[in-house]
């Protein structure tokens, strides 16, 4: 089974609208971390937001928020008031185990987001 | 400060040749990671260094792939007898367990390897 599933290969959104990018994950660990990264056409991966499995509140970072539903094993990224510069690939990733234990990230296949002026 | 840098940015080689890809992590970062990203896919983990030692090399696909980090800073990913299937973008990342709140990984721009 895929550890990280992103079911939306591509999305088109009007500028200034909110957008939700879906991510579901699969793990048997109780302790894990979920990350979202942005990859513009330049290729560099940019860290956006993190959610720990024991965090009770949804993470927020500026216009980014993470809709964490632990029972459903989903960690959707919400971008409010989208901007043209948000056009990029977005990857959901998971680290299994405690924060400073197993270090490797497992990534999904990504969602290409295009913001329309 | 400076981010993660990788050289070369592009490498074209012929099947069967040997290549080396270099990664300079963020100064002071103790952890270094290599990932491989094939076209249309997310990055796949290759190897993780904590200091000079490889703490997890479970992602290396076969014994043609090897990586070193002799002084705990710069790392080199070495690929012997390259095959066309090795063509991908090789990403390097670093993190600092002592300062990163989430131990988030900071990525370099990648090296695009093309094997003809």
Whole-number Å distance between alpha carbons of A84 and B116: 36
Q: Indicate the pairing of strand B65-68 with strand B75-79.
A: antiparallel
Task: Identify the pLDDT of residue B2.
Answer: 84
How far are the Cα atoms of A28, A40, A103, B23, B51 from residue A97, in angstroms, in the given order?
10, 29, 8, 26, 20
Whole-number Å distance between alpha carbons of A109 and A8: 9
Of A42, A50, A91, the CB nearest to B42: A91
- Per residue of chain B (116 residues), give pLDDT as tens: 589 999 999 999 999 999 999 999 999 888 999 999 999 899 999 999 988 988 899 999 999 999 999 998 999 999 999 999 999 999 999 988 665 556 789 999 999 999 99
Q: Which chain A residue has the Cα nearest residue B98?
A: A100
* Residues within 8 A of B (CB atoms), A 55-84 only: none
Task: Identify the pLDDT of residue B86.
Answer: 97
Task: Identify the pLDDT of residue B55.
Answer: 86
Cβ atoms of residues B22 and B6 within 8 Å:
yes
Lowest-pLDDT choice from A66-80, A87-101, B67-81: A87-101
For chain A, say whether B102 makes contact (Cβ under 8 Å).
Answer: yes
pLDDT in tens, A15-58: 999 999 999 999 998 989 999 999 999 888 999 999 999 988 99
Of B41, B56, B109, the CB nearest to A104: B56
Query: Please, which residues bridge with residue A50 across strands?
Result: A35
Q: Which two tokens stand for residue B112?
A: 């695009």
For chain B, say whether A50 makes contact (Cβ under 8 Å).
Answer: yes
Whole-number Å distance between alpha carbons of B100 and B81: 38
Percent of chain A whose predicted confidence (pLDDT) is above 70: 95
Chain A residues whose CB is inside 8 A of the B31 CB are 103
Whole-number Å distance between alpha carbons of B36 and B46: 7
For chain B, say whether A109 makes contact (Cβ under 8 Å).
Answer: yes
The minimum CA-CA distance between B103 and chain A, rounded to whole Å, is: 7
Q: How many CA atoms lie within 13 A of B27 on its CB side?
A: 2
Is B43 within 8 Å of A107 when comparing Cβ atoms?
yes
Buried b (16+ CB within 10 A) or exposed e, B53-77: ebebeebbeeeebebebeeebebeb
The whole-number average pLDDT for the span A106-115 is 97
Whole-number Å distance between alpha carbons of B85 and B82: 8
The whole-number average pLDDT for the span A52-81 is 95
Flag whether pLDDT at A100 surpasses 70: no
Q: What is the mean pLDDT of chain A?
A: 93
Whole-number Å distance between alpha carbons of A77 and A83: 15
Flag whether pLDDT at A85 surpasses 70: yes
Place of tokens 């302790």: A31
């Amino acid at each position: 089974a895929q550890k990280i599933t992103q079911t939306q290969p591509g999305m088109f959104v009007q500028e200034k609208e909110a957008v939700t990018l879906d991510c579901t994950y699969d793990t048997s660990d109780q302790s894990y971390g979920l990350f979202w990264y942005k990859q513009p056409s330049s290729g560099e991966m940019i860290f956006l937001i993190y959610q720990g499995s024991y965090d009770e509140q949804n993470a927020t970072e500026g216009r980014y928020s993470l809709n964490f539903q632990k029972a459903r094993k989903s960690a959707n990224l919400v971008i409010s008031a989208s901007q043209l510069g948000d056009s990029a690939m977005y990857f959901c990733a998971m680290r299994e185990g405690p924060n400073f234990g197993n270090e490797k990230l497992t990534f999904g296949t990504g969602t290409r987001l295009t913001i329309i002026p | 400060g400076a981010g993660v840098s990788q050289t070369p940015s592009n490498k074209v080689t012929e099947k069967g040749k040997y290549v080396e890809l270099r990664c300079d992590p963020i100064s002071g970062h103790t952890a270094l990671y290599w990932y491989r990203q094939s076209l249309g896919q997310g990055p796949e983990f290759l190897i993780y260094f904590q200091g000079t030692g490889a703490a997890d090399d479970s992602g290396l696909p076969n014994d043609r792939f090897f990586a070193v980090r002799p002084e705990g800073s710069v790392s080199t990913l070495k690929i012997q007898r390259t095959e066309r299937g090795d063509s991908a973008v090789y990403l390097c990342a670093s993190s600092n367990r002592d300062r990163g709140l989430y131990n988030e990984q900071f990525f370099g721009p990648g090296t695009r390897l093309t094997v003809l």
